[in-house]
Structure 1
Amino acid sequence: MGSVKKLAGQTLWYGVPTIATRFLGYLLSIFLFRWYGPTQTADITQVYALIPFLNILFTYGLETAYFRFVQHTEEKRLFNTLSVSIISSTIVFSIMLLLFTEPLARFTSLETKPEYFRWMVYILFFDTLSAIPFARLRHQERPRKYAFVKVMNISLTVLLSFYFLRFCPLRYAQDPNDSLLLFYNPSFGIGYYIVANAIASAISLLLLWEEWKALRIEFDAKLWKQVMLYAYPLIIVGFGGMINEMLSRLVYSHVLDLPIEEEKRQLGIFGASYKVAVLITMFIQVFKMAAEPFFFKQSTGDNAARTYARVMKFFVMACSLMWLGIALGLPLITRIAYGENFAAYNEGSAIIPILAMASVFLGIYYNLSIWYKLTNKTWTGAWITLGGALVTVLLNVWWIPLFGYTGSAWATFICYAAMMLVSYRMGQRYYPVPYAWKKYAAYLLIAVGLYVLQNWGINPFISSLWGKGLIAAALFAGYAVFMAKVEKKELVKLPLIGRFVAKL
């Protein structure tokens, strides 16, 4: 249990500041929905669907490779080699994207806002150069420094966004020549959200100066080739994953045959629904940060497979609880999120539970994927992800013209469910882990059953929003207590929550 407690502790260390930063970013995006309508937020949705795709290209699997190779390679030599590689490639990629901004902006439906594309490249440049130092902090188990830089990044993004998007427009209306508006251009509008992100990313890179000071210009070509043989299938895995997650928003306008304003309106609603569903993705990303180095370190132990199974159980429990909270609290969450633009955005709220459950499947897949990383069968992982990507492409092209963003949401759900099941079956063949899959399925099905009960069995008879909220809170609490009682023997051993479970 000690190893699971350690992972829980590290997840909390990474989790509290990371959830805080994600939540601040989430709140900022919520304010965008309050300040701007679906048509105006569509271009921002497009930019932030592009960034994860390009981030895969810029980092090309070196973060995961770092955790794998640091187990049996001199850390300084590995750090220097990977850093020299990523610095060189980042400069080349950035210059190429900037040189071809105009045609690339047209290809990505940003032809009216090419400046958004340029600022996006700056974000990628600074974030990529921070990737290996961040990986080193995680390997060295220094979550405080990691958390400090991440919190500073999002805090600056939030402050600068409020400055450019709220303060400056008000000051400009009073006095266009105000000295505080030296760099402000009112025509740039919501694009300042991207500018704020780029400035914050640059400052975050500066805050990692101590890590960069350790860099020596040393490049071990033999080591680099070994790393790339391991890492380049992960590029395919990454691209496949991003296709599954982001392709729907990138191709949405291309597969619809509607007036441009209507396409942008639907894309804005789709993006807003994804933002609400991303609440569950926050936890998955936090868990992944702590779990990736943890899983590799545990691989040399005698009870590694048993540890992975127990970690999966706690992960599924947490995800099912979070999914139920989002699904039951949806009427209140969307009211808060959309504010005065509630009527404009709320028509897409029905897809949020679908997208949230798809995220749960993706999180389980991330846990399962340890088998091909430990057995060096990264190509197998690549084929699984490519298969999922093919399903995503075909279903989106087929269903978006027929069902709009609802069809795309179900395509995401089916894709991640298929990847999860295939990875489980193949993983049990090459790296057997005693997963209690019947229990995992039961927890998820009970959560879905409670949502169905509330949404179709209770809500139609209650008109008050607060009445619905109280019923939702009671169902959520009952489910949490039920799980705590079933898993009491194990939960009491975990940090923080153990003392509360012991009282049940």
Structure 2
Amino acid sequence: MSNIKKLASQTVYYGLSSIAARFINYLLTPYLTAVLTKQDYGKMGAIYSMIPLFNILFTYGMETAYFRFIQKKERVASINSTITISMLCSTVLLFALTWYSQTALASIASLKEFPQLIQLSIIIMALDALSTIPFARLRNEGRPLLFAFIKIAGIVINILATIFFLSYCNTFIAAHPNSLLNLVYNPADSPIKYILIANIMQSAFTLLFLSKWMLPEKWAFDVALWKEMMLYALPMLVAGLGGMINETFDRLMLGWWLPITYDFDEQRGIYNACYKLSILITLFIQAFRMGAEPFFFKQAEGDNPQKVYARVMKFFVIVISMMFLVVSLYIPIWKHFIASKHWVGLDVVPILLLANMFLGIYYNLSIWYKVSNKTRAGAYITLVGTAITIIINFLFIPHFSYMACAWATFCCYGSMMIMSFVWGQKAYYIPYAWKKLVAYIVIVVALFFIHKGAMFLWGNTWFGLLVAALLTYAYGWFIFLVERKEFKKLPVVGKWVK
């Protein structure tokens, strides 16, 4: 149980830092949805759909390769040096290529009129790429507190800089038109420019703090090792690109395929804001991945790791199913996290919550091809998911706008989850209690529809919240009764149960 306890504690710490990291937009969502127009919020959504995609390209699977290869203790120095040199060279090369291609990138993002936004985004991508391996080194060394401090400190800088630019500068310059602040701030510029500058400040600060872990102790490039790592990493690059297309490209597709009768910036602004309400599950999955990836690889070297993987999956599904209820049943509260002008899109939230549940389960399942060096399987599964995303969006965005994006995400992640489970059980069997886990998911979906039916019949918000509380409590008590023996094995919970 010490292994599960360690994973849980690291997930908590990584969770705190992930909340900060993912809240680059999330913590600012109420503020940004209030101060930005729906059109500007849509433009920001397009930019922040591109950045994660290119982050995958800039890191090309080397983060996962690092965790896989660093377990060989006798090669630690060579691995650190080789992967650092590789990342430095590739970042410089990709920065030059993307800078040269900025016009094409602006066209893809439907931002031809705002080339400066693309330039600032490229700088962010390069800085973030350089911090990838230093962060991986911290995670591998089991230093979640330092990891969390750097992440949170960076995000505080981002938040303060964003509020300074969007609120203080306008007010100050209006009162003092001849001030020195005019040298760095122009009220006529797009507000997205200053959001990106704040992000650059965060990325630069983060890289500065990570400088101790950025450079190797000895400079040496092992060509044979690099080839070995690339053979492992490149399928992860394909999987990562496909995964990020599935996760973020729908905001760009709205700009490509919506009829001209729609204001596509407004539509993707509404969708982008409502997407934030799947925040709890998204953040937990991000936190879990941070702690689980190095944990899973270390477990692979021990006795019967499959049993550990199966138990981790059980606890994971229990947590995210409860989170689904907490968000989906309490939308009347959560919706105040975004400006009321975006509430028209709230129907996508339960769909996206389920989609992200599927994605989290898929991340758990993906351990089979990572530890067995069959990373091509991950690429194939993700490419199928990407095809599903593109086809559904292409066919249905012209008719259903962002609702098509939500259902495409649901179908994509659901398909990837099923494919990975079926394939993985044949190639690397893990004794998942899959019937029980499926039952848990079906139950929470049924409870959601029971709540929805009660709201349809009576429609009172306070009554709906009361029903939500009763259903959430009932599910929690049900899980406690079913998993009572399992909970007794947990160090803290077990004492309470006894």
Instruction: Give the Cα separation in 2 of the matches to 1:390 and 1:217.
Output: 42
CA displacement 1:160-213 (0-9 Å, x = unmatched)? 011001111111221122345541111224211111011110110000122135
1:265 deviates by: 1.1
Q: Contact conserved, 1:296 with 1:374, CA < 8 A, in 2?
A: yes
Query: Aligned letter for 1:490?
Result: E
Q: Contact conserved, 2:133 with 2:214, CA < 8 A, in 1?
A: no
Partner of 1:28: 28
Partner of 2:229: 227
Residue 45 (structure 1) aligned with residue 45 (structure 2): yes
Partner of 1:455: 452
Partner of 2:197: 195
1:473 deviates by: 2.4
Instruction: Give the Cα separation in 2 of the matches to 1:390 and 1:447.
Output: 29
Instruction: Give the Cα separation in 1 of the matches to 2:259 and 2:492.
Output: 53
Query: Aligned letter for 1:18?
Result: S
1:498 deviates by: 5.2
Q: Contact conserved, 1:306 with 1:433, CA < 8 A, in 2?
A: yes
Mark the CA change 1:75 to 1:351 in structure 2 (over 3 Å): closer, same or farther: same
1:400 deviates by: 0.8
Mark the CA change 1:91 to 1:66 in structure 2 (over 3 Å): closer, same or farther: same
Partner of 2:92: 91
Instruction: Give the Cα separation in 2 of the matches to 1:117 and 1:377.
Output: 36
Partner of 1:10: 10
Aligned residues: 496
> What TM-score does the superposition give when structure 2 sets the normalisation length?
0.96
Partner of 2:398: 401
1:25 deviates by: 4.2
In structure 2, the gaps of 5 or more residues are: none
Mark the CA change 1:213 to 1:393 in structure 2 (over 3 Å): closer, same or farther: closer
Query: Aligned letter for 1:471?
Result: V
CA displacement 1:249-283 (0-9 Å, x = unmatched)? 111111122246x1111111111121212331100
Instruction: Give the Cα separation in 1 of the matches to 2:57 and 2:49.
Output: 14
Query: Aligned letter for 1:502?
Result: V
Q: Mapping of 1:393-432 within 5 angstroms?
A: 393-432=390-429
1:427 deviates by: 0.4
1:494 deviates by: 3.3
Mark the CA change 1:371 to 1:162 in structure 2 (over 3 Å): closer, same or farther: same
Partner of 2:123: 122
In structure 1, the gaps of 5 or more residues are: none
Partner of 2:59: 59
Q: Contact conserved, 2:257 with 2:398, CA < 8 A, in 1?
A: yes
Query: Aligned letter for 1:301?
Result: G
Instruction: Give the Cα separation in 1 of the matches to 2:275 and 2:202.
Output: 24
1:20 deviates by: 4.5
Q: Contact conserved, 2:109 with 2:255, CA < 8 A, in 1?
A: no
Residue 248 (structure 1) aligned with residue 243 (structure 2): no
Q: Mapping of 1:83-162 within 5 angstroms?
A: 83-162=84-163
Q: Mapping of 1:103-502 within 5 angstroms?
A: 103-180=104-181, 182-191=183-192, 192-259=194-261, 262-334=263-335, 336-339=336-339, 342=340, 344-458=341-455, 460-463=457-460, 465-494=461-490, 502=497
Query: Aligned letter for 1:3?
Result: N
Instruction: Give the Cα separation in 2 of the matches to 1:120 and 1:202.
Output: 13
CA displacement 1:406-426 (0-9 Å, x = unmatched)? 122111111111111111011
Instruction: Give the Cα separation in 2 of the matches to 1:263 and 1:86.
Output: 37
Instruction: Give the Cα separation in 1 of the matches to 2:204 and 2:488.
Output: 43
Instruction: Give the Cα separation in 1 of the matches to 2:166 and 2:493.
Output: 40
Instruction: Give the Cα separation in 1 of the matches to 2:329 and 2:20.
Output: 22
1:61 deviates by: 0.4
CA displacement 1:292-343 (0-9 Å, x = unmatched)? 1111111122221111000000000011011111100112111x1234xx1x
1:97 deviates by: 1.6
CA displacement 1:9-42 (0-9 Å, x = unmatched)? 2212222333344357412123111222321211
> What secondary structure sits across from 1:74 in the alignment?
helix
Instruction: Give the Cα separation in 2 of the matches to 1:484 and 1:17.
Output: 29
Query: Aligned letter for 2:316?
Result: F
Instruction: Give the Cα separation in 1 of the matches to 2:410 and 2:37.
Output: 27
Mark the CA change 1:480 to 1:383 in structure 2 (over 3 Å): closer, same or farther: same
Query: Aligned letter for 1:74?
Result: R
Instruction: Give the Cα separation in 2 of the matches to 1:167 and 1:498.
Output: 52
Mark the CA change 1:498 to 1:266 in structure 2 (over 3 Å): closer, same or farther: farther
Instruction: Give the Cα separation in 1 of the matches to 2:477 and 2:189.
Output: 50
Query: Aligned letter for 1:210?
Result: K
Q: Contact conserved, 1:63 with 1:132, CA < 8 A, in 2?
A: yes
Mark the CA change 1:379 to 1:453 in structure 2 (over 3 Å): closer, same or farther: same
Greater than 4 Å deviation, 4+ residue runs? 495-499
> What secondary structure sits across from 1:186 in the alignment?
coil
Instruction: Give the Cα separation in 1 of the matches to 2:49 and 2:492.
Output: 36
Instruction: Give the Cα separation in 2 of the matches to 1:259 and 1:173.
Output: 37
> What secondary structure sits across from 1:216 in the alignment?
coil
